[in-house]
Amino acid sequence: MSTRPVSSSAKMDSVFADIIIGVSDGLSVPFAIATGLTAAAADPGMILTAGLAATLIGAAGMGISGYHTVKDESAGPKEDRKFYANIGFTEEMQEEAMAALTEEQQAALQQLSESHFNSPRSSGFIIGFSYFIGGLIPLASYFFIDDTYVALTIAAPVTLVCLFVFGYLKNRLSNANPWSGAVRMLILGTLAAGAAFLLARILK
């Protein structure tokens, strides 16, 4: 059985996909936390502590989830062939059985073979680290500006632009409508931050 070589460009595409997944998922929660605590008149240190804690926890969870997802998915076709072999199928019969998969299943396997050339460990690390970087985007201005409202006026448009861009890229990776992904991420991020801001103002 021949082994298809993996090109360096395919590996880079896989890294790029993991980065997009991580960053896009890492933007929203710290943004909502920073917005809510700003409305509650918290000091920059408290905002950064809460935001960084949420980002670290989220990054760890995403990294672990990414590791197991890639590990399980990349084992899928191998497990199918192993099952057919265990019930006595010859290699030719295994090929025929794999070829009889539905069109949707074949498309999923094809997408997997094209986009998961990272090992589960490296993929999990890249997704988790990218999530952390994404979480730093809405928090960055609070490192340098003491006036939290001024920091928020910088963080909010930057984060919303990033949500739009990464929502577009994330949907494009999954062959869905990229513009709907961009708008959806933008709306969800705005609603989450807006709700946090209003709740903090009401409870203040």
Q: Which two tokens stand for residue 204?
A: 């203040």
Residue 181 identity (one-letter amino acid) = G
**CA-CA distance, 23 to 51, in Å (whole number)?**
15
For residue 3, the model assigns a pLDDT of 45
For residue 142, the model assigns a pLDDT of 96
Residue 39 identity (one-letter amino acid) = A
For residue 1, the model assigns a pLDDT of 41
For residue 174, the model assigns a pLDDT of 77
For residue 149, the model assigns a pLDDT of 93
Number of Cα atoms under 13 Å in the Cβ half of residue 144: 7
> Residue 6 has what DSSP assignment?
P
**CA-CA distance, 70 to 170, in Å (whole number)?**
17
Q: Which two tokens stand for residue 183?
A: 């708008």
Residue 24, CA distances (Å) to 17, 29, 42, 65, 122 in order: 11, 11, 26, 15, 18
**CA-CA distance, 89 to 97, in Å (whole number)?**
9
For residue 193, the model assigns a pLDDT of 92
Per-residue tens of pLDDT for the chain, all 204 residues: 444 444 555 566 678 888 888 898 889 999 999 999 999 988 999 999 999 999 999 888 888 877 777 676 555 555 555 555 665 666 776 566 556 544 444 444 444 444 555 677 888 888 899 999 999 999 999 999 999 999 999 999 999 999 999 999 988 887 788 899 899 999 999 999 999 999 988 886
For residue 65, the model assigns a pLDDT of 79
For residue 55, the model assigns a pLDDT of 92
**CA-CA distance, 4 to 17, in Å (whole number)?**
21
**CA-CA distance, 21 to 55, in Å (whole number)?**
15
Cα 32 from chain centroid (whole Å): 17
Nearest CA-CA partner of 193 in 161, 156, 166: 156
**CA-CA distance, 54 to 33, in Å (whole number)?**
9
